[in-house]
A and B are shown apart, each in its own frame.
Chain A
Amino acid sequence: MDELNKTQSSAEEVAQNDLHESSVVEGENNGKKKAVCRKDMTKAQWTWKEMKRNKVAYFMIAPFMLVFILFTAFPVVLSLLLSFTNFNMLEINADMIVWFDNYTRLFFDDDIFLLACKNTLIFAAITGPVSYILSFLVAWFINELSPRLRALVTLVFYAPSISGSVYLIWGIMFSNDSYGIVNGVLLDLGIIDTPILWFYDEKYAMTLCIVVALWMSLGTAFLSFIAGLQTINKSLFEAAAVDGIKNRWQELWYITLPMMRPQLMFGAVMAITGSFGFGGVVTALCGFPSVNYSCHTIMHCLEDYGSTRWEVGYASAIAFVLFLIMIGANTIVNKALSKVGQ
């Protein structure tokens, strides 16, 4: 802002000296003076001037924006448009447009979708906050370890989230015959006398999927918290101790959390997006569809209609609902978090 004011005032001086030359300062060597007297222009003119001055920037972002728009932004719009049709990849005809039929069918006629919605929300409402708090607590607890030890503990906690299909081991540990570790141990101790089906039993499937999800959820948010905690100025804690902070929890509430707000907000985005985008693991562990749809999520509905039945219009409606849920959850949580420590 200071720069701008300076430029403005210097431009004004020039304007006083010679009214006609006030907008021809571009010839001068000093790059800053190119920003001509802003008062003489409308907002549109000023913006246009700035755009021309910085046109190289548009070339620099153009390649990325092209790919981003084509494969991330445009698909959202396309999903919205397709969701008003009954397009199915096979036939294109005039009466394709069905307006809100897909949505009424989703919310009033499709019991499986409603069940999937319920499952997804339960799933997200548990894994999201728990993984978020867990990430923060672990990051906070290991913050005071020596750097070497901290790096090791970070690796142990972070590794499951980057190891690809290693979660399949849960399928072996909780395998439904007596060769699975858990059934083996329980049988051996005489707690049960027939093996439990675990992932293929309605009673346990959802809970186990949540456990697996939590196991592999200490990802980007966790790293962000570790890094953020390292950057807090240590002298703040000393000052706080002098000012009467009595224990680590007060320290957390009054200093650490407010200082961490940017990382907390970023971590929340990662945790929420992760908790909704969790379908492949369920498919791999519980099968598709899961027993009595006990673990059927919106992702599975999408897969079902999108790539099995090819009802693209209907699937697009599901995709758009999922998009709205994700964006909505993120917006609400970020609004709430921006108030931490204020």
Chain B
Amino acid sequence: MRIKEQKMRVRNHQVVLNRSVGGDTGIFVFLAIMGVFMFLPMYYTFIQSLKPLDELWMFPPRFYVSKMTGKNFSDLFSLLNTSWVPFSRYIFNTVFITALGTFGNLFLSSIAAYALAKIPFPGRKGIFWLMQKSLMFTSTVTAIANFLTLSTIGLMDNPFAIIIPAWGSTMGLYLMKQFMDSSISDDVLESARLDGCSELRTFWQIAMPMVKPAWLTLIIYSFQGLWQTGSSPYIYSEQFKTLNYAIAQITAGGVARAGAAAAGTVIMMIVPILVFVITQSNIIETMATSGMKD
């Protein structure tokens, strides 16, 4: 029953059990190698966007920049302005799709998640089972059928062809439901109901403020998906194309545009990363309840 003395180690002012020095060193080396592998491509993209043209095509290639320049970014903006649809239109489209899609998804998912988590209506197990199953296949499977559906209901070449399907994304609903299951106690809701609070009001005024981390996470997930909307088979008019599409066109421009392309990639990647940095603790809190029960 006695813990052997040599097993006791102190780290961060706390006694840690069952941790050998050799193991710690091995793990550190593993993490360091993996970290470099993960980080290097990101770093290299960033460095590329700051290189002047002569350094971009230098042999052998370099991992650092000697004459840093912002010219790639100004090139990118002047290139975007030469297209016959003004650049601001692409930004507007991306923001429009992202904002409407995200808030629609947030609203529909959270109200449905509340009903699934907290109202014992017949059929909710079956419905939630269906939602869980839908996490198991990607939208590649549904793309062709959706094309037919969207053209039948006349949403072709309309930003809503991207926005409306995004409202029904199950990832956010799943996380929200799991989080509500564990973080809202039934007693609170029950007493609200006894006080004559309607189900909708209970949802809006009592449940929603309690699940802030979950709706932040839902917003981030939906945002990440929609922000990167590129070319879509449902949209063919230039005035409805997105920012990602416009930047991809420049990237496809080849050697002469390598700098501008790197700048575009950096702009597209910096936004989701910043958003994640700001909301990380909320996302982790939500993910703690993401587990599936069997």
- Main secondary structure, interface of A, reads helix
* Contact between chains at A227 and B288 (CB < 8 Å): yes
Please measure, in the bound complex, the distance between the C-alpha atom of A43 and the C-alpha atom of B132, giving whole angstroms: 27
Whole-angstrom CA separation of A63 from B104 in the bound complex: 10
Residue numbers in B under 8 Å from A39 (CB-CB): none
Contact partner of A242 (CB less than 8 A), chosen from B1, B39, B193, is B1
Interface contact A169-B41, CB-CB below 8 Å: yes
A window 175-223: CB within 8 A of B: 178-181, 184-185, 187-188, 215, 218, 220, 223
Q: Which B residue sits closest to A230, measured CB to CB?
A: B288
Min distance, Cβ A64 to any Cβ of chain B, angstroms: 4
In the complex the two chains form, is A165's CB within 8 Å of B244's CB?
A: yes
Q: Distance (Å) between the CB of B234 and the closest chain A CB?
A: 11
Does A245 touch B at the CB level, under 8 Å?
A: yes
| Nearest CB on B from A234, distance (A) | 10
* B168 & A242 in contact (Cβ 8 Å cutoff): no
Q: Are B39 and A156 in contact (CB under 8 A)?
A: yes
- Contact at B140–A279, with CB atoms within 8 Å? yes
A307 to B108 Cα, complex, angstroms = 31
Interface string of A96-118 (1 = CB under 8 A from B): 00000000000000000000000
Contacts of A272 in B (CB 8 A): 136
Q: Does A261 contact B (CB under 8 A)?
A: yes
Taken together as a complex, chains A and B put the C-alpha atoms of A68 and B278 apart, in Å, by 30
Taking a contact as CB atoms under 8 Å apart, the answer to whether B41 and A78 are in contact is: no
A interface residue count range (under 10 / 10 to 19 / 20 to 34 / 35 or more)? 35 or more
Provide the main secondary structure of the chain B interface. Answer: helix
- B104 → A minimal CB distance (Å): 9
Cα distance A327–B230 in the bound complex, in angstroms: 27
Report the nearest B residue to A246, measured CB to CB: B18
Instruction: Knowing A78-B148, A163-B272, A227-B290, say if A327 contacts B7 (CB, 8 Å).
Output: no
In the complex, which residue of chain B has the Cβ closest to the Cβ of A79? B145
A82–B277 Cα distance when bound, in Å, is 45
Residue among A60, A138, A248, A263 making CB contact with B114, cutoff 8 Å: A60
**Which of B23, B37, B119 has a CB less than 8 Å from the CB of A57?**
B119
- 0/1 string, A224-264, CB within 8 A of B gives 1: 10111011000001100110011110110000000011111
Say whether B41 contacts A70, CB under 8 Å. Answer: no
Interface size on B, residues (CB 8 A): 106
Bound-state CA distance A333–B35 (Å) is 29
For the complex, is B85 an interface residue (Cβ under 8 Å from A)?
A: no
Q: Are A166 and B290 touching (Cβ within 8 A)? A: no
Nearest CB of chain B from residue A123's CB, rounded to whole Å = 14
CB-based contact B136/A54 at 8 Å? no
Q: A218 — which chain B residues lie within 8 A by C-beta?
A: 38
Quote the shortest CB–CB distance from A141 to chain B (angstroms).
5
Tell whether B154 is near chain A: CB-to-CB under 8 Å: no
Chain A residues, Cβ within 8 Å of B230: 165
A265 on interface, CB distance cutoff 8 Å: yes
B69 interface contact, C-beta 8 A: no
Contacts of A262 in B (CB 8 A): 290-293
Let me know if A31 and B193 touch, CB within 8 A: yes
Name the CB-closest residue of A to B165.
Answer: A71
Whether the pair A338, B136 counts as a contact (CB closer than 8 A) is: no
Within 8 A of A (CB), among B141-184: 141-149, 164-165, 167-168, 170-171, 173
Known A-B contacts A79-B145, A266-B292, A323-B137; the reply to A65 vs B127 at CB < 8 A is yes
Complex: how many Å from CA A196 to CA B194? 73
CB pairs A–B below 8 angstroms (11 shown): A56-B199, A71-B146, A78-B149, A154-B284, A159-B269, A159-B273, A227-B286, A237-B17, A242-B1, A262-B293, A312-B144
B interface residue numbers (CB < 8 A to A): 1, 3, 7, 11-12, 16-20, 23, 27, 30-31, 34-35, 37-39, 41-42, 44-45, 48, 57, 59-61, 108-109, 111-112, 114-116, 119-124, 127, 130-149, 164-165, 167-168, 170-171, 173, 193-194, 198-200, 203, 224, 227-228, 230, 233, 244, 247-248, 251, 258, 261, 265, 268-269, 272-273, 276-277, 280-281, 283-288, 290-294
- For the complex of A and B, 10 pairs with smallest distance between CB atoms: A262-B291, A75-B145, A67-B168, A277-B138, A227-B287, A163-B269, A75-B142, A54-B121, A64-B112, A60-B115
